[in-house]
Structure 1
Amino acid sequence: MGDVVSSHLDENKREIITARTRDVMREFGETYQQQYAVALFNSVRYEIEGGGTQSQLLHRKDPLVDRSIFSGNLFQYLEENRKWRNRFVFVASSYSISLYESKTAHDRSLHPKVTINCAGYRALKSMEEYMDLVNNSLPGVKARPSSSPFVKCATQFPLILWHPYARHHYFCVMTEKEQTKWHAVLQDCVRHTNNGLSEDCKVLTPAFTDAVRLHRQAKGHYGTWDMMCGGPPQILANLVMETLHPEMRSLIAHRLKGKLQQKQRHWMLISDALYKQVLRHTRAHYEALVQSCEVQRPALDAGLRTDMDQIIASKDHVQGKMRALVLPRAEQLLLASVKPYVDSILEALMEPTSRGFSEVRDVFSRELVEVSKNTLNGGGKELLGEQMERLSMLAFHPVKMQSCYEEVEQLNLDGLQQRFDVSSPSVFVQRAQILMREQMDNAVYTFEQLLNQSLEGQGDEDLCKTIQKCEDRVLKKYDYDSSTVRKKFFREALLQIIIPYMLKHLSPSCTAELPKFKELIFEDFSRFLLVENVFEEVVLHSVTKDIMMAVKEAAVQRRHNLYRDSMVLTNSDPNLHLLGESPSVDWSTKFSPDDPEGEGEGGAQDEGPRGGLAAAKRRRQVVSMIQLDGVPLAYESCMEVPGVEGIPEEEGEDYGMRCKLGTEEEEDDDDDEARMLPRTPKSPDSVHEIRGLINPVVEVEHPEAEEGGTNGAEPVSATVLLEDGSVEEVRSVTTLVEGGDQRRVSPQDMMKRLMGKDRKQEVTDIEQAIQEIDLAVQEGGKDTDLEADLGQTSSKTNEGLNEVGPQPIRNGLTGGDGNGEEVENFGEKVAVQISDVVCEI
């Protein structure tokens, strides 16, 4: 396939790609430098003047520290040899997807085979949906409705990551439940990376977004943009590909040879190589651009703080002059083309968004009900740590949050998209989902802090009541915060839809008159006050009043569950906000029943290559131990591989062995989350394991073995507490002697050690049993029912020493043929053994 790429992307075309990228970055760089100074001015002004509303819920600073999202096995399609291979997939807290040869390779910190940044991708689980997108990738080449895809999926449960420019990735699993879970994880990766620009960067982020928007508007592209996703280098690469990709497709598409499927495969490889080359250039250009702006920042900041009052006064003067020019035209456009549609747009946004936030509230309440039930039934605080550890990651669990996300995915702007140039509602859907996740995490974190404060010095009897009080307190604050967040989201969404539409219609008549306003700005302030930005702010102010009124009227309707703007809860709970400065609660160690001294995972007793607190926390996963309905999946793809007919084998590889190895390593992982899962019973693999199951053996260090004693003075218990908490009887004890051989304790010694305090009564019972056996032996030849009675007696005698129950006597204990002589010999031998025990006692 490399020949296909090199033959179509020759040196001449690569120079064209480099030149186009350099031109776009030069134009963007000029705009970015201008917007950088404007963004710095707005940031300093906001810092001085203040503003904004205070949330009622606490905010967690770094929720995913020392966490990972998910890991497991998938089948990946390799385009190089057109075969499917089993891969271990690890999703880090950054939501990047890493594919390894095996779990062992990941544990050894080897480099992954592939690392996928999901920005700009779409997660699909239908081959038909994928083929619809692929068939539209080559305009002019029509595919038949019955044409088969060029990728033959090994199972009927595919998972596909599709990108308009970059390489596609194909996976499949064995069950529908796995497909649903993995699809939710992949969607969460896409959702997170598409929201890649951090709002904490008060200068870089607004400067970049405004520069991209103004650059596209200069090219005639108004409205929302689907490819505004990922980090700045990726967004810039998408900006270049927006014009370069169609140009290169027109040059190359007609030269592709072969059948339709082959043409599609070749074009995707070429497109991926094209995108990678553009991305390398945009990354280098952007880093140099930011560095040059950051060098000038101290001087700009000092000048701003010195002349802030004069700059604000100058801006207000220019805005007043420009408002007289723009407002009459803007009001006419609003009245004719915008106001009639504001209510329809708002209704289309509010219905699914309000249902989604309501579902967030319900999911949070249901999880707390489960915490109360499990804690009450499980014994109080001992299990509370495990329950709260799972609850703390609820917001980042894509499977549990899927019901909330699905409500917002029903957002439909049909009929309004074409009018207001909205490319797709996905921009608003993903933004609402991110806000829902933030509100869920804020609610969970606030509940954790309140519960931790309430539980200090409190007994178990009021635990459920305490949980209920904290829940009620958090839900009230969630209702207020979710209402505030939704109203802000509705206002921003309306502005994103309406402002580009108005700028598109007002710019042709107003742009020619804007240069005269530059004369009103002092030269020293010209870097911070640009007439283009002032013009957009004037248009924004002309629309804001109507949008605020529309949202305020919607808040009155009860069905949207919105608080009125008059209900302001500023500083309503100052004591709670003091808790926000406290560190997050480590529930896994706070009430850990296995660690009463508070050492936690990776304490002094947890040493070795996998020990240590950091290593233990790195093994914690958000979705690793979650199964549907609390039951493990009956059939996981990482445990069994399809047959040869479905997936071609790789030469020299044993898939069954590799999958088995991966499964065993999964089971060896002893983190907190894995312990809570019920383990699937496994059959023994060797004769020694079978004997160990039938006759459990306990190894103990004998205190008197070094002194030459044959038997210890202290009695040994007949039961053993296993690792899973169950109690099991044993009939043999192996004594460990330092520097010597191990020897197995006889049944007589075991019975002797198992004697209780009242030994006289037990000796009397044993003597009576001996007499009954002697009497039975003497009458053995006369009574036909003796064999059955003796079988029952021997069964009772061996009870507690052999867990497999009574076994039939086949060849006798003396090698006979099963006649009465065998019974007599057996009875005599039992009597002798019991007599020896009595003598020893």
Structure 2
Amino acid sequence: MKSSLGKLFSQHVILVENLQTNAMKEFGDVYEQQYAVALFNSVRYEIEGGGGTQSQLLHRKDPLAGRSIFSGNLFQYLEENRKWRNRFVSVPNSYNINLYESKTAHDRGLHPKVTINCAGYKALASMEEYMELINNSLPGIKAKVGNHPFIKCATQFPLILWHPYAHHHYFCVMTEKEHKKWHAVLQDCVRHSNNAGLSEDCTVQTPAFTDSVRLHRQAKGHYGTWDMMCGEPPQILANLVMETLHPELRNVIGPRLKGKLQQRQRNWMLISDAVYKQVLSQTTGQYEALVEACEAQKSPLDARLRTDMDQIITSKEHVNSKIRALVLPKAEQLLRTSVQPYISSILEALMEPTSRGFSEVRDVFFRELVEISKNSINGGGKDKLGEHMERLSMLAFHPVKMQSCYEKVEELNLEGLQQRFDVSNPSVFISRAQILMREQMDNAVYTFEQLLNQSLEAQGEENMVKTIQRCQDRVLKKYDYDSSTVRKKFFREALLQIIIPYMLQQLSPSCSPELPRFKELIFEDFSRFLLVENMFEEVVLQSVTKDIMMAVKEAAVQRRHNLYRDSIILTNSDPNLHLLGETPGVDWAAKFGGEEPDGSVEAEERGSGRRRKQVVSMIQLDGFTLPYESCLEVPGVELIPEEDAEACKEEDQEDEEEEELGLHEDPKSPDSVNEIRDLINPVVEVVLPTSPQTILKQLVGSKKQEVDKEEAAIKNAIEEIEIAVREDDGERVAEEPAAESDGESSPPPVPHSRSRDDSGFQSPTNEGPDDGELQPITNDNPLHGPPETGEKLQRGNDFKNLLSRG
């Protein structure tokens, strides 16, 4: 198995390198051309000016400065030894997912065990969703209905990060409430990472890159939207290479994989991940070199543009007129027969769920303001007002509170139109709408903060309820106006994204062969800024723009979905409101001297003494909490229960060494009797079942799957540990009450520092002083299930070594 897979992969390394090199060379040539065109458009816009509708709401420049998003604990599946390990997870404002051995490791500033960039991933909440994607990963192999996965989840609440090319990540939690919240957090990480790579402030690099990707895909025959246009430019380029490379490798390597279905799926995933890492490492360096080369030419090109701008524009208009004479008659004919009849239905499919989502944003914002008003009416005082305002300030970035808004737009469905217009997936439009909804929520919150702060400084804190009400009314009116403006722009852009690729695909076969003769009309000095391919697309764009603008305008005139007419301007617009946007944000907790609210828990920033306010606090398990290093072992599908005793012993020794290396201390030597007791009976908020077997079944998540022999062994081991603890307890603490020694008849005491509210969130400040010192549950602990065979473990390690060498 080792030699065959290694040889199979190494035979195709050259194929991977050749395809990747050729793809990047082709892209580089297109990018250099599009960079000069983008620079021309940027300088022309700067000289001629122009702009859109003035926003009514204020915009916060860096809303997440000094913030972290989330932290908490969940179980991660370790594929190398098929175990579920409890990890501390921290999500900083970069939205990368950092996994640590424990909260102590995070607080000490240690590097995370794993860092996940979620760009390109999908956050799945069930094993059924995952298996549907996995079963379609290998062509020609039909999986049976209800086919078992190659991993066995420790609980009934899995969370999976799936990627079409890269490594998959498996997690699980203990309760349904926790499951929903973690799923919302992971979705937010994916949403942000997908849209954070291409900045709109880069007026040259971003359009040059996006146009180059589009033209490169069109040259390969791929028109229409692309759902892997996500992440940083090197990640997008890696996805671009894999779009061609992945099917070729799968067709060649897939039929030659041996073993059972689950093993072939797993091996293919390992190969795909190895190839993707190799491609990504290459595209990262090559893109940086490409951008550096283009930036080096920017200054002389910019100077030439500013000198000859009038002549370049005149030359472009002349060539445009010639291309328009060729293309326009064909475009208008295509427009009448195949596009115009569908514009209204496409627009309606976009407007309905998007408008519901923006309406839900308004409702969520309004409900938060009502809570603040109630607090003032009930005499909550300045401290409570500070807490409410601190929570409100991060409302747009609270994935759980925003989830109802995001779910509305996820109902967007272009079924019936996808095949005609080559729309691969509506996720492109859903993701864009959700980002716009979050921006509008934050704009509304920030504007309310600034207006309220201004009113309080001018009028004092008397009649607080009326002051809040006046600010609320002003902000909601501004939100309605901006929401209408943003949605109309979104609808126009979405219609163009759907229709233009279809028209280009239909017109290119007849028009593209005629374009080279128009190059003769362009002066050689201007040829870098004027490309006939770009002007052809501009003519097609102009041919359909009028119809799209008219369709959106008619929807606004009919007052459908609360859209304002273009002619409507707010009569009570604040001319000096934008001046407030230049002032620093309000620190409400400091202003009113209140304590940090639960939704703004402070988390220490790694590697520094500063502390970051956290948007969402830690999740508190409803039943109990586990020691940070607790580890559950779950066998794979093919694992045989009858194990070789020597293999079990070797694996136990390896796991013990792993624990010792990770914490630099002996996990078998707790510092105190209390720590031993905490390891046996985890601290809880409610009365726990007195049976150790019941606690064990809750941790593993299965009540009837353990065989009698294993249960008896586990029971005996736990009883032996408890006897040892009681003996040690009697020797060290002779004055301890006798009632405390009865571990079988009474639950462990509940420290008040762990008793928190019912929201399901827990502040890191509630951690007990000894939390960071909890010792790991080693392989000698009865919480472990049956270990895997040494033969299968060695086979997996051999295969990974082959991949790394390849």
Fold shared, TM-score > 0.5 on shorter chain: yes
Residue identity matched to 1:54: Q
Check conservation: 1:356, 1:407, Cα contact below 8 A: yes
Check conservation: 1:99, 1:115, Cα contact below 8 A: yes
Please give the alpha-carbon distance, in whole angstroms, between the structure 2 residues aligned to 1:611 and 1:138. Answer: 43
Name structure 2 gaps, 5 residues minimum.
637-650, 660-666, 679-683, 689-728, 739-751, 755-806
CA pair 282-457 structure 1, distance change in 2 beyond 3 A? same
CA pair 360-594 structure 1, distance change in 2 beyond 3 A? closer
**Shift of residue 570 of structure 1?**
9.8
Q: Which moved more, 1:369-378 or 1:172-181?
A: 369-378
CA pair 192-690 structure 1, distance change in 2 beyond 3 A? farther
For 1:293, the equivalent position in structure 2 comes to 294
**Shift of residue 251 of structure 1?**
1.9
Residue 609 of structure 2 corresponds to residue 621 of structure 1? no
Residue identity matched to 2:31: Y
Please give the alpha-carbon distance, in whole angstroms, between the structure 2 residues aligned to 1:611 and 1:217. Answer: 45
For 1:81, the equivalent position in structure 2 comes to 81
CA pair 286-580 structure 1, distance change in 2 beyond 3 A? same
For 2:103, the equivalent position in structure 1 comes to 103
Q: Which moved more, 1:166-175 or 1:507-516?
A: 507-516
CA pair 462-319 structure 1, distance change in 2 beyond 3 A? same
SS in 1 for 2:70: strand
Check conservation: 1:381, 1:591, Cα contact below 8 A: yes
For 1:759, the equivalent position in structure 2 comes to none
CA pair 5-461 structure 1, distance change in 2 beyond 3 A? farther
For 1:22, the equivalent position in structure 2 comes to 21
SS in 1 for 2:419: coil
What is the 5 A alignment of 1:505-654?
A: 505-569=506-570, 572-593=573-594, 615=609, 617-618=611-612, 620-624=613-617, 634-635=622-623, 638=626, 651-652=655-656
Please give the alpha-carbon distance, in whole angstroms, between the structure 2 residues aligned to 1:236 and 1:28. Answer: 9
**Shift of residue 110 of structure 1?**
1.5
Residue 180 of structure 2 corresponds to residue 191 of structure 1? no
CA pair 379-268 structure 1, distance change in 2 beyond 3 A? same
Residue identity matched to 1:392: S
Please give the alpha-carbon distance, in whole angstroms, between the structure 2 residues aligned to 1:522 and 1:682. Answer: 84
Please give the alpha-carbon distance, in whole angstroms, between the structure 2 residues aligned to 1:441 and 1:225. Answer: 28
Please give the alpha-carbon distance, in whole angstroms, between the structure 2 residues aligned to 1:415 and 1:662. Answer: 62
Please give the alpha-carbon distance, in whole angstroms, between the structure 1 residues aligned to 2:350 and 2:601. Answer: 46
Check conservation: 1:342, 1:550, Cα contact below 8 A: yes
Please give the alpha-carbon distance, in whole angstroms, between the structure 1 residues aligned to 2:457 and 2:545. Answer: 49
Check conservation: 1:555, 1:563, Cα contact below 8 A: yes
For 2:354, the equivalent position in structure 1 comes to 353
Check conservation: 1:422, 1:497, Cα contact below 8 A: yes
**Shift of residue 363 of structure 1?**
0.4
**Shift of residue 323 of structure 1?**
1.1
Residue identity matched to 1:67: R
Please give the alpha-carbon distance, in whole angstroms, between the structure 2 residues aligned to 1:611 and 1:88. Answer: 15
CA pair 326-294 structure 1, distance change in 2 beyond 3 A? same
With normalisation by structure 1, the TM-score equals 0.74
Please give the alpha-carbon distance, in whole angstroms, between the structure 2 residues aligned to 1:97 and 1:258. Answer: 34
Check conservation: 2:84, 2:634, Cα contact below 8 A: no
CA pair 116-212 structure 1, distance change in 2 beyond 3 A? same
**Shift of residue 616 of structure 1?**
5.2
Please give the alpha-carbon distance, in whole angstroms, between the structure 1 residues aligned to 2:16 and 2:36. Answer: 31
Please give the alpha-carbon distance, in whole angstroms, between the structure 2 residues aligned to 1:468 and 1:655. Answer: 61
**Shift of residue 313 of structure 1?**
1.4
**Shift of residue 568 of structure 1?**
3.3
**Shift of residue 2 of structure 1?**
8.5
CA pair 499-380 structure 1, distance change in 2 beyond 3 A? same
**Shift of residue 680 of structure 1?**
5.3
Residue 461 of structure 2 corresponds to residue 460 of structure 1? yes
Please give the alpha-carbon distance, in whole angstroms, between the structure 1 residues aligned to 2:89 and 2:677. Answer: 14
What is the 5 A alignment of 1:738-817?
A: none
For 2:408, the equivalent position in structure 1 comes to 407
CA pair 98-612 structure 1, distance change in 2 beyond 3 A? closer
For 2:792, the equivalent position in structure 1 comes to none
Please give the per-residue CA displacement for 1:248-270, whole angstroms capped at 9, x wherever unaligned.
11221122111000110111001
What is the 5 A alignment of 1:367-446?
A: 367-446=368-447
For 1:179, the equivalent position in structure 2 comes to 179
For 1:805, the equivalent position in structure 2 comes to none
Check conservation: 2:383, 2:595, Cα contact below 8 A: no
**Shift of residue 369 of structure 1?**
0.8
For 1:836, the equivalent position in structure 2 comes to none
Residue identity matched to 1:623: V
Check conservation: 2:194, 2:231, Cα contact below 8 A: yes
CA pair 723-120 structure 1, distance change in 2 beyond 3 A? closer
Please give the alpha-carbon distance, in whole angstroms, between the structure 2 residues aligned to 1:77 and 1:594. Answer: 38
Please give the alpha-carbon distance, in whole angstroms, between the structure 2 residues aligned to 1:459 and 1:2. Answer: 76
Please give the alpha-carbon distance, in whole angstroms, between the structure 2 residues aligned to 1:556 and 1:514. Answer: 40
Structure with bigger RCO (C-alpha 8 Å, 6+ apart) = 2
Check conservation: 1:104, 1:662, Cα contact below 8 A: no
Please give the alpha-carbon distance, in whole angstroms, between the structure 1 residues aligned to 2:38 and 2:403. Answer: 36
**Shift of residue 558 of structure 1?**
2.7
**Shift of residue 226 of structure 1?**
1.0
**Shift of residue 377 of structure 1?**
2.8
For 1:152, the equivalent position in structure 2 comes to 152
Residue 70 of structure 2 corresponds to residue 70 of structure 1? yes
Please give the per-residue CA displacement for 1:762-793, whole angstroms capped at 9, x wherever unaligned.
xxxxxxxxxxxxxxxxxxxxxxxxxxxxxxxx
Check conservation: 2:82, 2:634, Cα contact below 8 A: no
Please give the alpha-carbon distance, in whole angstroms, between the structure 1 residues aligned to 2:345 and 2:32. Answer: 39
SS in 2 for 1:422: coil
For 1:36, the equivalent position in structure 2 comes to 35
Please give the alpha-carbon distance, in whole angstroms, between the structure 2 residues aligned to 1:419 and 1:655. Answer: 65
SS in 2 for 1:395: helix
SS in 2 for 1:316: helix
Please give the alpha-carbon distance, in whole angstroms, between the structure 2 residues aligned to 1:471 and 1:47. Answer: 37
CA pair 165-178 structure 1, distance change in 2 beyond 3 A? same
Residue 130 of structure 2 corresponds to residue 125 of structure 1? no
Please give the alpha-carbon distance, in whole angstroms, between the structure 1 residues aligned to 2:93 and 2:499. Answer: 36
CA pair 537-527 structure 1, distance change in 2 beyond 3 A? same
**Shift of residue 231 of structure 1?**
0.8
SS in 2 for 1:560: helix
**Shift of residue 374 of structure 1?**
2.4
**Shift of residue 657 of structure 1?**
8.6
Please give the per-residue CA displacement for 1:379-428, whole angstroms capped at 9, x wherever unaligned.
32222211111111100011000000000000000000000000000000
For 2:483, the equivalent position in structure 1 comes to 482
Please give the alpha-carbon distance, in whole angstroms, between the structure 2 residues aligned to 1:112 and 1:461. Answer: 49
SS in 2 for 1:143: coil
CA pair 258-5 structure 1, distance change in 2 beyond 3 A? closer
SS in 2 for 1:566: coil
SS in 2 for 1:225: coil
> Number of residues paired by the alignment?
662
For 1:315, the equivalent position in structure 2 comes to 316
Q: Which moved more, 1:342-351 or 1:454-463?
A: 454-463
SS in 2 for 1:419: helix
Name structure 1 gaps, 5 residues minimum.
603-608, 665-678, 692-721, 725-841
SS in 1 for 2:91: strand
What is the 5 A alignment of 1:321-336?
A: 321-336=322-337
Please give the alpha-carbon distance, in whole angstroms, between the structure 2 residues aligned to 1:486 and 1:662. Answer: 59
CA pair 85-656 structure 1, distance change in 2 beyond 3 A? farther
CA pair 31-613 structure 1, distance change in 2 beyond 3 A? closer
What is the 5 A alignment of 1:198-237?
A: 198-237=199-238
Please give the alpha-carbon distance, in whole angstroms, between the structure 2 residues aligned to 1:355 and 1:639. Answer: 43
Check conservation: 2:361, 2:405, Cα contact below 8 A: yes
The two structures, once aligned, show a CA RMSD in angstroms of 3.3
**Shift of residue 688 of structure 1?**
9.3
Check conservation: 1:5, 1:269, Cα contact below 8 A: no
SS in 1 for 2:12: helix
